[in-house]
Amino acid sequence: MDLITRIKTLSNEVFPRLVEIRRDLHKHPELSFNEFRTSDKVKNFLSKEGIPFKDGIAGTGITADITGFSSDGSTIGLRADMDALPIHELSDKPYCSVNNGIMHACGHDFHTSSLMGTAWIVNHLREYFSGTIRFIFQPAEEKLPGGAKSMIAEGVLKNPDISSILGQHVTPFLETGKVGIRSGNYMASTDEIYLEVIGKGGHGAQPHLCEDPIALSAQIITALQQIVSRKADPRIPSVLTFGKISGNGATNIIPDSVFIEGTFRTFDENWRKKAHFLIRNIISGICESSGFGFKLDIKLGYPVLKNDPALSSNIRTRIQEYVGFENTIDLELWMAAEDFAWYTHEIPGCFYRIGTGNEAKKTTYGLHTPSFDVDENALQLSSGLMAWLALNQLNKR
């Protein structure tokens, strides 16, 4: 039996168990850095399979190493995230979240279950490879600065040094059975903007006695849009969005201050820094020239996610071998962000997407929505595919 057939046979065998695990994790979601039950679930699984692990990394993070017939060779990392989102789930399925206001709306329950399945498969294939595969169960992808950064700081890529790393993410916009990949820049950097515009409140009928922060905030937001439309190189995708404005006034009350929250995203780290400078300059110029105060906090988020070209080329070929050329999809740039990006700034990495969309099963709702769900049949593909990619990456020397 050749390796690819052996892997698919094992993925079929472990599949029912992965569905059970995924539903349990989905039913009991936990927020970033609080994945205690989830972490225990992973550790119990690894212990039962006799796979050694280290826990307590970045709080709830876990790593597990599986070495082949020889430790001589490179080490590759495989990563899954474990945290959920503060979203109230809208579902009547038996595995709907029992934790009010918390939901696996981004598929991290799928990612964790899938990586557990990959570990199970690889553990049955030690005679097929040399070197080591490190399984990284990571907390807090959804919360800045991201669990990846913390795990890297605690040495997750060392002892032995990891030569490359793979990650996967579900997507409802690809049909189950399809896999998407892109070489080079794939996902944007993301930064959070928190601004308070400070004026002088008063009666709405006496604006001449006030310093209206609402009117000035409108001016600031309009002016800041020119950063993308007139200051950015049009060849560099950029997004500046303000999604929250809070004035706490009323129809006849001008508030003392206005709070504004937004995000800036792009694909160029140098332009990212320059844009931060322009944001500060425009805000300070408008506020100071009008006699208003302000407080600005730009929280640095995840960097640009870069899929290493050489690694991605090899991974694309292996994906085609596993799912077929017709089911291997070229991905477009995506303005969303992922803390897997931190790994790609340390070592060669490749982040690809697993299709989980199925109209009949109603799994085409978008990520981060209260009706999001996955086609669990994709677990059979994802667990085996990642094992196939990892073993080929180690054996390609």
Among 300, 328, 349, the domain-final residue is 300
**Cα 195 to Cα 259: distance, rounded to the nearest angstrom:** 6
Same domain, 20 and 152: yes
Range of the domain at 249: 189-300
Query: Alpha-carbon distance 130 to 127, whole Å?
Result: 8
Per-residue pLDDT for 396 more than 80?
no
Kindly give, in sequence order, each residue whose CB lies less than 8 Å from that of residue 314, ignoring residues fewer than 6 positions away: 392, 393, 396
Examine the domain organization and report whether 242 and 362 are in the same domain.
Answer: no
22-34 confidence digits (pLDDT tens) = 999 999 999 999 9
20 and 157 share one domain: yes
**How many Cα atoms sit within 13 Å of 170 on the Cβ side?**
36
Domain boundary (300, 328, 355) is at: 300
Q: What's the number of domains the chain is made of?
A: 2
Options 30, 35, 83, 89, the catalytic residue: 83
What are the strands of the beta sheet with 257-266, ordered from one edge? 238-246, 257-266, 189-198, 293-300
* Tens of pLDDT, residues 270-323: 999 999 999 999 999 999 999 999 999 999 999 999 999 999 999 999 999 999
- Residue 201 reports pLDDT greater than 80: yes
Residue 83 annotated among the catalytic residues of the structure: yes
- Which of these is catalytic: 35, 109, 141, 308? 141
Three-state secondary-structure class, residue 89: coil
Do residue 277 and residue 380 come from a single domain? no
Indicate whether 55 and 76 sit together in one domain: yes
CATH code: domain of residue 9: 3.40.630.10
Alpha carbon distance 195, 224 (integer Å): 12
Instruction: For residues 82 and 150, state if they share a domain.
Output: yes
Q: What SS3 state is found at 250?
A: strand
> Is 141 a known active-site residue?
yes
Task: With H, G, I as helix, E, B as strand and everything else as coil, classify residue 171.
Answer: strand
Domain containing residue 252: CATH number: 3.30.70.360
Specify whether the CB–CB gap between 83 and 139 falls below 8 A: yes
The pLDDT of residue 397 is above 60: no
Residue whose tokens read 């029992």: 98
